[in-house]
């Protein structure tokens, strides 16, 4: 009979040397190895330790489990600091022995020490084992909308319906590039010059983001921009130009592994259009080029998360073909010291 795990488990920071064991545990759970994904996640944590929290649990037999999370600073329009729980795994013969709980408590403790307000994650409605674990860890449903859109091999087919018209938008709402009527007959990216994001684009992106949000999100934007420049293999971030100036941007990444995914998917983190260039099709041009690039990479789906208050963004995403996902958003509050 196996001894109670609580007496033998030691939780510590995950290290590069744990990679082989992490891949082995994950492969046993998922039915296929995902070494490249975990290599990238561990490398990102080494490169930007401030933005990552990764722990391993060891017992007498070696690594018994792991948990990986990333700091949220500005993704999906949020304006506070959170943690996104991305992956948790436990060795088969250590399951049911408190390993997952010990890992979660270590992650929550890290968040509390670093002033994190909450933990967030996603799970599919039919991932019953994961849902039971989230319930046991006291997660609750979050109000956020999880949306997804099929890439369709790169074809761009915005929905033509009676969704929110630009003139109907409430004051202060963001216009992400209305592009109606006859302009649907040609690809928006034929009108707007859309390019891969470059080093020199940062100042313009910061300016546009401040104009849209009214806040300085420099730390978040700089981190996402640096990630796009350092690891172009997983970033598909774009900028849009009109009249020779950058007037919009889109930050996205490709993923194979977060939240238990086993198929390639792209995550749309942020999209913004200079308010002076609203109603010029800039948002449509960015999404159009994103779909084209993802189709070439054989990525079949784009996913994003939108806060319920972001009505203009929700309207835009529904208009370009996004729909509710089979995944649900969960949140767990962390009580931080005042």
Inter-axis angle of helices 218-230 and 202-213, nearest 10: 140
Assigned token pair, 169: 């938008």
Average per-residue pLDDT in the chain? 82
Structure-block tokens of residue 274: 């200079």
Structure pTM?
Answer: 0.80
More confident residue, 225 or 23: 23
Q: Do the beta carbons of residue 330 and residue 139 sit within 8 Å?
A: yes
Is the model's pLDDT at 240 over the cut of 70?
yes
pLDDT for residue 175: 44
Q: What is the CA radius of gyration of the chain?
A: 21
Of residues 232 and 319, which shows the higher confidence score?
A: 319
Domains of the chain, start order? 5-116 (3.40.630.30), 146-325 (3.40.630.30)
Which of 121-130, 214-223, 235-244 has the lowest average pLDDT?
214-223
Using one digit for the tens of pLDDT, what is the confidence trace for 107-164?
999 999 988 889 999 999 999 999 999 999 999 999 999 999 998 766 666 654 433 3
User: Which residues, in sequence order, are CB contacts of 293 under 8 Å at separation 6+?
Assistant: 154, 236, 238
Band of pLDDT at residue 185, cut at 50, 70 and 90:
very low
At 220, the pLDDT band (50, 70, 90 cuts) reads: confident
Q: With 80 as the cut, is the pLDDT of residue 166 above it? A: no
Residue 183: pLDDT band with limits 50, 70, 90? very low
pLDDT given at position 90: 96
Q: What is the pLDDT of residues 5-59, one digit of tens each?
A: 445 899 999 998 999 999 999 999 888 888 888 888 888 888 788 889 999 999 9
Q: Residue 265's beta-bridge partner residues? A: 255
Nearest Cα neighbor of 111 from 306, 332, 269, 260 is: 332
Query: Is residue 71 predicted with pLDDT exceeding 80?
Result: yes
Residues in the chain: 338
Task: Judge contact between 103 and 83, C-beta under 8 A.
Answer: no
Question: Minimal CA–CA distance to 87: which of 16, 27, 11?
Answer: 27
Which pLDDT score is estimated for 36?
Answer: 83
State residue 305 phi and psi, 5-degree precision.
-125, 135
Task: State residue 167's pLDDT score.
Answer: 37
Digit-coded pLDDT (tens) for 81-106: 789 999 999 999 999 999 999 999 99
Give the pLDDT of residue 158.
62
Place of tokens 């506070």: 80
Cβ–Cβ < 8 Å for 88, 103:
yes
Could you tell me the pLDDT band of residue 334, with boundaries at 50, 70 and 90?
confident
């Amino acid at each position: 009979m196996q001894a109670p795990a609580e007496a033998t488990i030691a939780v510590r920071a995950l290290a590069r040397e744990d990679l082989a064991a992490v891949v082995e545990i994950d492969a046993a759970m998922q039915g296929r190895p995902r070494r490249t994904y975990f290599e990238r996640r561990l490398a990102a944590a080494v490169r930007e330790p401030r933005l990552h929290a990764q722990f391993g649990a060891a017992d007498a037999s070696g690594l018994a489990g792991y948990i990986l999370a990333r700091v949220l600073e500005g993704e999906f329009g949020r304006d506070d600091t959170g943690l996104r729980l991305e992956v948790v795994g436990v060795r088969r013969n250590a399951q049911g022995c408190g390993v997952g709980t010990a890992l979660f408590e270590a992650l929550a403790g890290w968040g509390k020490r670093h002033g994190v307000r909450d933990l967030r994650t996603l799970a599919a409605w039919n991932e019953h084992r994961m849902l039971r674990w989230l319930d046991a860890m006291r997660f609750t449903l979050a109000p956020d909308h999880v949306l997804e859109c099929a890439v369709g091999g790169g074809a761009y087919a915005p929905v033509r319906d009676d969704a929110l018209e630009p003139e109907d938008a409430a004051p202060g709402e963001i216009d992400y590039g209305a592009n109606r009527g006859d302009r649907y007959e040609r690809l928006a990216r034929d009108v707007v010059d859309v390019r891969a994001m470059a080093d020199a684009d940062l100042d313009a992106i910061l300016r546009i983001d401040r104009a849209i949000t009214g806040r300085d999100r420099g730390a978040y934007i700089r981190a996402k921009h640096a990630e796009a420049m350092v690891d172009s293999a997983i970033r598909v971030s774009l900028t849009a130009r009109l009249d020779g100036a950058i007037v919009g941007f889109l930050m996205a990444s490709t993923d194979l592994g977060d939240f238990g995914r086993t198929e390639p998917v792209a995550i749309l983190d942020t999209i913004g259009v200079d308010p002076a260039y609203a109603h010029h099709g800039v948002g449509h041009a960015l999404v159009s080029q994103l779909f084209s690039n993802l189709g070439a990479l054989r990525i079949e789906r784009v996913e994003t998360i939108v806060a319920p208050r972001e009505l203009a963004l929700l309207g835009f995403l529904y208009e370009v073909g996004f729909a509710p996902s089979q995944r649900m958003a969960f949140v767990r509050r962390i009580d931080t010291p005042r």
